[in-house]
Amino acid sequence: MTDTKFHVYEGLATFADGYESRNIKVRDEEASWCGGTVADALAFARHGDMSHVAEAERLLEKLDTEIDSNSVKPMWTPSVVGNFPLVPAYLAGTPEAMLARTDVPDARGEIEIWANTTVSGSCSTAGMVRRGVVTLAFAMALSRVRNVRIVVYSTLDGSNVAVRLACPLDISESCAVFCQPSVTRQLFYRHAEPDGSRGKWASWAEVMNRRGGNGAAVERKALMDYAGMPADAVRLGTEKLGSYASVSDDELVEILNRKLREVAGKEGGEN
C-alpha cells in the first residue's frame, strides 16, 4: 500500500518554497534528462515562464474557439471605452462610465482540471515541451469559455504532491509547469523522497491494474481520497495527455477540438 500522505500547495511559487524546506538532496548529474538543474526548476516555479507561450498561441489560433454557443454569454458591462454611456457612473465621476459588450464565461462556475504531468523516462525533453505546449493551448482555449482551475500532479516514483494553479489562468505559471521539464522531473518527481515513498505510488497503481482494475479509476479514487480532488473534477491522466512528439499539427488540432467540446460542456467526472 502506498504512503497516503499527500501534499497540496496553493500556487507554484508556494510549492517551490515547500520543496526547498524538505532539504531534498540535489542530484544535478541528471540535469540533462531533467531539462535543467534544481535551481533552474525553482526559478521557473517562482517566476514563471513565457518562452513557449507564442507556440501555444499559434496552436490556439487553429482551435475551435466557438466550443459551445451556450458557454459564453454576451453582456453589457461597465467599461472605460464602450458603445453607450452609463449615466449614473458618469455623474459619479467613475472611470468606467461606458457600457461595452463583453463575452462572459459560463455561469456554471469554476471547473477543476486535474492534469498529470508524468511521462515515460524514455520521453525526451523536447517531447515533454511539445506536450506542454499542447496542454497550455488546451487550458487557454478552455479558459475562454469556463472559469478553469488547473491542479497539476504527478504519479511517478511515489510522487505525492499536487499544486493548485491560479484562477483565472496565469499564463506564465501554467507555461512554467507544463513546458519546462525540469519542474516536473526535478521537483514533482523528487518531492516524495523525505516521506520514503519513492516508487510505491506507481507500483501500487500497477498492481491494482494487473488485478483487473481500471488504472484511471484507481488513480481517480486515490486523488479523491488523499489529495482532495472533487468528485466532479475532470482528470487529464497520462493516457489522455500523450507526448504528442510524433503527431502532426493538424492531428493535434483535431484531438484538442474534440477534448474541448467534451470538457467545455461537462460538469466534471472521468475524462
233 and 158 assigned to the same domain = yes
Q: What is the pTM of this model?
A: 0.75
- Is residue 211 included in any domain, yes or no? yes
Give the chain's domain count.
2
185 and 253 assigned to the same domain = yes
* HEC profile of the chain: CCCCCCEEEECHHHHHHHHHHCCCCCCHHHHHHHCCCHHHHHHHHHHCCCCCHHHHHHHHCCCCCCCCCCCEEEEEEEECCCCEECHHHHHHCCCCCEEEEEEEECCCCEEEEEEECCCCCCCCHHHHHHHHHHHHHHHHHHHCCCEEEEEEECCCCCCCEEEECCCCCCHHHHHHHHHCHHHHHHHHCCCCHHHCCCCHHHHHHHHHHHCCCCHHHHHHHHHHHHHCCCCCCEEECCCCCCCCCCCCHHHHHHHHHHHHHHHHCCCCEEC
- Is residue 154 included in any domain, yes or no? yes
- Is residue 1 included in any domain, yes or no? no
For residue 237, pLDDT over 60 is answered with yes
pLDDT digits (tens, 9 = 90+) for 33-58: 999 999 999 999 999 999 999 999 99
- Is residue 2 included in any domain, yes or no? no
pLDDT score, position 182: 96
Give me the domain span that covers residue 83: 73-105
